Amino acid sequence: MCQVQPGNEWRDRRAYVIGTGKSGLAAAGWLLGQGATVCLNESRALADLAPESRAALAALEAQGLLLELGQPCDPLAFGAELVVPSPGVPLDEPAIRAAGAAGAVITNEIELGWRAGRAAVVGVTGSNGKTTVTSLIGHMLRLAGREPFVGGNIGVPYLQAAPRLTANDLAVLELSSFQLEGILSLRPKVAVFLNLSPDHLNRHKTYAAYQAAKWRIAEFQGPADWLILNGDDPLLRREGERRLATAAGGGPRIMFFSAAGPIANGLWLDEEGWLNLTLPTADGAVQRQRLLPAAEFALPGAHNRENLLAAAACGLILGLAPADIRRAAATFQAVEHRLEPVGEAAGVLYVNDSKATNPDAALKALDAFTRPLLLIAGGDGKGASFQELAAKIAARTKLAVLIGKDGGRLAAALREAGFERFRQASSLEEAIDICREQAVAGDAVLLSPACSSLDMFRNYEQRGEVFKARVKEILAARSNVGRRD
């Protein structure tokens, strides 16, 4: 796959990076190496940044980085020719729009990585399941003897690795709506679009705008590329069929996946729980191949069967043998903070699903268990409705313990659903202790917040780590019961 290599297109030009997260630091470092004059803006003061961020800034400053800390961004005043906002910075900020109107290029670290490298890209997006599917595709490729880069919205920023990757390499990237809305030419060889449900409405303002940002994953694809879509998601199925009918050879080839039964073009689950591939042939016939039983997949839940279908479809397109996919499915371990078992004390299982940052993710988590559940939920709801989640909580849980900024909104939704078995806690640790006191052997305590963590924590990872640390204290205390010095 070929793409234009820009060389040092930013040499001796003025670049303005906004935000000191991993992607902002990666962009600033790369641009300095390209010979650009780089200013990095951060609204927080230096003292408010994490120690690792301060250390990284000091190293970049020694290389010539200009710092603009503790103040609003103003790329126009800097004379920026390139503006690189971090994913958490809205592109409709007036200062960013003013720079764009003055002729500055507005893009992001992912796009810079695409321009800096030559690797073929597998892009994975959707409202839920991105991390699991991205990681599973990477696991499949490694077991087949290939060494992909896996990152993007998870792990290492793409721009840190992209310049070292060759045309023979693969980069498997989790892509968020925030990242996709800032791309200018990123063209995945394979784009995987898992599902759609309302999310980040506080940022995108409308569900339609959120969907439009997600669909940018296929914006620059051509006939040599593939787009994998969830055929059980009505919005994706309808748009996929429309694109099939109107593509006229200009868009990507499309493959669907479905856990609901046979489809004529893609990967699906039969009544016996086996993954099947059906593809139309040139003469109008349909070729069918039975691949592997979904029961061998190591992760629980109906949503994870969909994740397996999506990853397997991508693996087949990339030339993996069914045996490699089957082996990967059986050996794949839960992604950290996504339905991650932490341990069991007194017969009570504790599960960390901190990455469930929207209601749809929490709905899927609640359906993944047969045990009676005690749920910890709440945080910053990002403007999402809790109505459907409240009905599911009422049907599936013994107790809900609510935390965070929108815990009160979730409580109101539960009352409206006729569910009164909830309590509110001032901290995550208090919520865990309430669950521990109320749980009995055979229950599961599930952290699946359905909300962003940013009202109480730096990110969902920190929220998950706090959950795991408190649970490990409970496990240690339990193991010491009855011991004598």
Give the residue from 158, 152, 196, 156 showing the smallest Cα distance to 174.
152
Mean pLDDT calculated for residue range 370-377? 92
Give the residue from 247, 255, 317, 91 showing the smallest Cα distance to 184.
91
**CB–CB of 140/325 below 8 Å?**
yes
How confident is the model over 154-166, as pLDDT tens digits? 888 999 999 999 9
**CB–CB of 379/452 below 8 Å?**
yes
Q: Which parts of 139-209 are beta strand (E)?
A: 149-152, 170-174, 190-193
Mean pLDDT calculated for residue range 177-201? 90
Class of the CATH domain delimited by 14-106:
alpha beta
For residue 126, the number of C-alpha atoms closer than 13 Å in the C-beta half-sphere is 28
Distance CA 278, CA 288 (A): 4
Distance CA 368, CA 374 (A): 13
- CATH 3.40.1190.10 at 110-331, yes or no: yes
Domain at 340-477: CATH architecture: Alpha-Beta Complex (3.90)
**CB–CB of 278/298 below 8 Å?**
no
How confident is the model over 301-345, as pLDDT tens digits? 788 899 999 999 999 999 999 999 999 999 988 778 888 888 888
Distance CA 312, CA 133 (A): 9
At residue 3, the pLDDT reads 40
Residue owning tokens 């059980």: 232
How confident is the model over 100-112, as pLDDT tens digits? 999 999 999 999 9
Distance CA 277, CA 286 (A): 10
Q: pLDDT band for position 2 (50/70/90)?
A: very low
- Relative to beta strand 274-280, strand 266-269 is antiparallel
Residue ranges, comma separated, of all CATH 3.40.1190.10 domains in the chain are: 110-331
Buried b (16+ CB within 10 A) or exposed e, 143-156: bbebebbbbbbbbe
How confident is the model over 42-88, as pLDDT tens digits? 999 999 888 888 999 999 999 999 999 999 999 999 999 999 999 88
Q: Residue 123's beta-bridge partner residues?
A: 173, 191
Of residues 2 and 258, the one with the higher pLDDT is 258
Residue ranges, comma separated, of all CATH 3.90.190.20 domains in the chain are: 340-477
Residue ranges, comma separated, of all CATH 3.40.50.720 domains in the chain are: 14-106
Is pTM beyond 0.85? Reply is no
Of residues 243 and 410, the one with the higher pLDDT is 410
Percent of the chain past pLDDT 70, that is, above it, reads: 95
Q: pLDDT band for position 351 (50/70/90)?
A: very high
Catalytic machinery residues: 130, 153, 200
Q: For 335, which DSSP code?
A: P
